[in-house]
Amino acid sequence: MQLQAREIGARIALGAWPSDVVAMVICRGTLLAATCALPGLVLAYAAGRRVEALLAGVKPGDGTTFGIVACLRIVMTVAGSLLPALRAVRVDPITVIRAV
């Protein structure tokens, strides 16, 4: 976390727009979530096949369910990245750069 705070502080000190910093933080969070999406979908499908008898009226490979979950993942990633991004914009660059 310290390295990221110093990076953001340096960017702001060098004249980065707050909207650029917010976009950077949200893009990094979205990239991390997208990287984990494929293994997560594979594991979810495998787990669904294991507990197929417990699923009431839903097939383990139901495309609608996986689509809704993928959309929910995107919304939650942006929502979860927004608060840290807004907090990062308010950082005092000099204080962060001096803190080692």
Residue 87 sits at φ, ψ, to 5 deg, of: -65, -35
**Residue 1 clears pLDDT 50, i.e. is over it:** no
Assess if residue 66 is contained within a domain.
yes
Q: How far apart are CA 72 and CA 11, in angstroms?
A: 31
Mean pLDDT across 72-81: 87
What does the pLDDT read at residue 13? 83
Q: How far apart are CA 73 and CA 79, in angstroms?
A: 10
pLDDT tens for residues 20-61?
Answer: 988 888 888 888 888 888 888 888 888 888 887 777 777 777
Assess if residue 10 is contained within a domain.
no
Number of structural domains in the chain: 1
* Residues above pLDDT 90, as percent of the chain: 0
Assess if residue 94 is contained within a domain.
no
Q: Which among 63, 35, 33, 37 is positioned nearest to 48, based on CA atoms?
A: 63
**Residue 2 clears pLDDT 60, i.e. is over it:** no
**Residue 8 clears pLDDT 60, i.e. is over it:** yes
Between the alpha carbon of residue 18 and those of residues 23, 79, 88, 91, the distances in Å are: 9, 18, 9, 10
Mean pLDDT across 77-88: 84
Assess if residue 62 is contained within a domain.
yes
Print the domain residue range for 83: 18-88
Give the pLDDT band of residue 7 (cuts 50, 70, 90). confident
Assess if residue 97 is contained within a domain.
no
Assess if residue 13 is contained within a domain.
no
Assess if residue 50 is contained within a domain.
yes
List the structure tokens of 37.
Answer: 């999406």
Whether the CB-CB separation of 85 and 5 falls below 8 Å is answered with no
Assess if residue 1 is contained within a domain.
no
